[in-house]
A and B are shown apart, each in its own frame.
Chain A
Amino acid sequence: MKAAGRREPPLVHLAVALLFLFLLLFLALPVGRLVLSALGDNASGHSTFALLLANPLYLDSLIGSLAASAGAALLAAMLALPPAWTLWRLQWQPPLAVQLLGFMPLFVPPFMLSLSLQSLLGRGGGLGFWLAGRIDLDPSQWGLAGLIVIEAIHYAPLLLSLVVLSTAPLARDAGIAAHLGDGWARLTRRVFLPLGMPGLAFGMAITFLKTLDDLATPLSLGLTNLIAPLAYFRVGTHGAGDLVAAALALVLIAVSMLAWTLGAGRMRQIPMTWNGTHLRPDAARPGQQHLAATLLAAVAGFTALCYSGMVVTAFAGVWSHTLWPESWGLQHFAAALATESASFINTLRYCGTAALIDVVIGLAIAYVLRRAPARRELRLTQGVAGLLGVPGVALAITYLQCVDSGIAIPFDATGVLLALAFALRGLPFALPACSYALRGLPDAHLDAARLSGASTFLIAWRIVLPALAFGLVVAFLISFGIAAVDLSSAMLLIPSETEAPAAYTIYLNMQTSTGRGTGSALAVLAIAAVAIVLTATAALIARRDPGAAAPRSEHGAPP
């Protein structure tokens, strides 16, 4: 229930003011500055933008980026829709843990898939070696199509989970309607597609934006004629103050914003406001359950197969120009833990700081949203979700330009800018978790504590913290995970290679033939950690029973 109209304590006004100050200082002002410099004239008096448009290289890269992003989004949708429809048709909702594992693409960088497929299908070993001379499956030889396929395979499980989440609540009702004579073709057209559209649109928008912003995957495939890699190279060769880099960053922001707006237009129910009530298991008949489980196992098996190149590399001793490694061992894991443990500490430092910022700000926004009238709530939610339209490469260039112009010099080489960039990009994902946490704390719980004589500190310690703890930990983990795989910001903003987070260290290792085993071992450890955290979160959610604290109307006590 909304509590609009209530008088807010001064602390709330202070929190809101600090929130807007944060967004103003670390987003609005830097981006505004970038826009002004990108639209201005260069030293020779020519418009940077006009030069950009006149150069076929940049125009080709823009077309290439758009084609790759749109192609990946479309292909991911094509891969996800058939299994999603089949699960809906079988009226079976996967267990919560499986649904959450579908979100793994958000917490695993796609370049890992690229390098895994190259290990598996490249000419140096594995299937690629075996097939040599007959057919060339090396994804690094496919050009833009390789990038599209890799991004699509990477993000398809996310789209599948989102569509399942959107459509499952009415799967049984559709089954009943079909039983009463309604055709499945009509039900698909009138029920499945409209219901699945918000999830599909959100997933496609995420795939588009992440592909557009992806630096590591195109570089791992040797693709440089795209906007993000070009901007990255311009900064590397011409310095942070380069106006062309600024203009390219602006193009990235403009395209992302446009794509997000178009995608958001299709989302009648914004996924950012999903509250978890859809996560209820549906009862399908045993035959349907087996069929659906087999289908999901096939999807999981295909995904695992794609990543198997990385796993085999991690456990392989020597693997060169043979179908199978000549020896096996754990030496890569030992090397990874011995030489690259600093990268984990760096990850904790940057991503932990970013996640902490996200939890604090997300909680403040969630509190404001709870108090806001419906229309303002929607606008604010969409505004925060709009942060997804600020690509990591563009944000990093924006910050670097601030450093270059002397504005942000105190933050240079401290890693603070990287943590801030991570925080801004993680906020749209942390906010729903914070809102979910806050829903577990009705105002009446605080009033009851006040009436009992609890001080503000005791209310915070004994009532608020226990009620919010789980949701805030989830928000922290989400934000942490999103930041941990954000290579686009990291590649531009890390103070030095020794201070790089784990994802960047994995990328660097996997780019070299000597470090590929160590990088793969690190990647396997990271993916295993993500899978464990997601499964544990699912188990905890199931045990907590989100509706447990809500009043029930049954007469008897539950068992």
Chain B
Amino acid sequence: MANIQIDHLGKRYGDKTVLADFSLDLTDGECFTLLGPSGCGKTVLLRLIAGFEKPESGTIRIDGQVVTDAGDGSSVSPDRRGLGMVFQDYAVWPHMSVFDNIAYPLKLAGIEISARRERTLRAIELVGLAGLDARLPSQLSGGQQQRVALARALVSEPRLLLLDEPLNNLDANLREEMRFEIKALQQKLGITILYVTHDQEIALAIADRIAVMDENGRLRQLGTPEEVYERPVDDFVFRFLGIANFLPVSRRDGALCVGDQAGDWPSLPPAHYGDTLTAGFRPGDVQLSRDGAGLTGTIRRASFLGAQFDYLIDIGGALIRTALPSHDALALGLLFDEGDACRVGFHSVQWFDRAIPTSDKV
């Protein structure tokens, strides 16, 4: 287990600033996810922590020990940081067998043969590859190669495990299976994990805490998955964590209106917000009915997705999406056709103190 302190880290490539004054603390034994769009600098941060790159400013401490200090240019070599890492394309050496791939770090560390063999076989067992130790990577599936990479990263019993989008190249089913396995491994070993991804589903599923970065390498929000999902600090975080609906709202004579319609809102915006607002909500936050209270809308597209109905609704020119469980839709008689009128209410709404562009495309 390890804690990491990153203080005022800065990294540039030529004229491009990738990270500027970036600070972050990871605590012992947590599974921490760094979530951000492609090119936001999250992999660079991982490489800085691993010691593959040197920053222009700032320090990195692992368990209180300074491993990188841009001030005096000192940097502990990657193999002495007590890290394991799984790369995006696994980086399993193609000419070595599964056993040799996993045993190689132990061999380099000078571990005696019998102990090396025992630890390697234990790591192979841990990731569920027992019996495949003599195979070459070309004889394995993508998921199995990913497990080899994971075992190789764990075999040295590192304090910290760095995972650089390791599930990206897997199909959807395997991705889902592996994310739970990684979480189970982390809980079993009690190891600290820093997981970098642009996939919010994976981040929400495995993280104890999530840091959301924007495309400029700035930290937008840090918190538990529930916090960042339910209480996003801004529309960027809100948008990044799932399908986001936005409705333009104006405050008129104390009423909160969408166009000419006064809405029935589950919560009110803070008093200091201005008169031009945006209501943000997820598809699942929409309360749909045929008549009664709520904003009037028109069904533009109706899609049956098995477990749920996906409706695209036009409210005064703004398009929103809903997700209605199929059982509820059948029980409540909410099977709409395209062109049907409907009423839209909300279970929950996030308020933003400005106008945010809304979708106008079907």
By a beta-carbon cutoff of 8 Å, the part of chain A in contact with chain B is 4-7, 440, 442, 444-445, 447-454, 458, 462-463, 466-467, 545, 548-558
Contacts and interface: CB of A to CB of B under 8 A. Distances in A.
Given A447-B52, A449-B93, 13 more contacts: A447-B47, A447-B50, A448-B93, A451-B83, A451-B84, A451-B85, A451-B105, A452-B108, A452-B156, A462-B104, A554-B141, A554-B142, A554-B171
A548 B137 contact: yes
B93 A555 contact: no
A545 B138 CA distance: 8
Question: Which 3 pairs across A and B sit closest by C-beta, in order of nearness?
Answer: A548-B138, A5-B13, A453-B79
A4 B52 CA distance: 15
19 contacts: A444-B87, A447-B85, A450-B78, A452-B152, A454-B79, A454-B104, A549-B137, A550-B89, A551-B145, A551-B146, A552-B142, A552-B145, A552-B169, A553-B169, A553-B171, A554-B141, A555-B174, A557-B144, A558-B141
A458 to B, nearest CB: 7
Nearest to B135: A557
A557 B146 CA distance: 12
Nearest to A463: B93
A453 B52 contact: no
Interface of B: 13-14, 16, 47, 50, 52-54, 77-79, 83-85, 87-95, 104-105, 108-109, 132, 137-146, 149, 152, 156, 169-171, 173-174
Contacts of B146: 551
A440 B47 CA distance: 21
A512 to B, nearest CB: 51
A459 to B, nearest CB: 10
B85 A448 contact: yes
Contacts of B78: 447, 450-451
A453 B138 contact: no
A442 B95 contact: no
Chain A interface, DSSP helix/strand/loop, else mixed: loop
Nearest to B146: A551
Contacts of A454: 79, 104, 108
Nearest to A556: B141
Nearest to B110: A453
Contacts of B92: 549
A471 B169 CA distance: 26
Given A444-B91, A447-B52, A5 B14 contact: yes
B108 A458 contact: yes
B52 A450 contact: yes
Contacts of A548: 94, 137-138
B171 A555 contact: yes
Nearest to A448: B91
B138 A551 contact: no
A529 B58 CA distance: 61
B50 A553 contact: no
Contacts of B89: 442, 444, 550-551
Contacts of A451: 50, 78-79, 83-85, 105
B109 A447 contact: no
Given A458-B108, A555-B141, A447 B91 contact: yes
Contacts of A5: 13-14, 16
B91 A442 contact: yes
B10 to A, nearest CB: 15
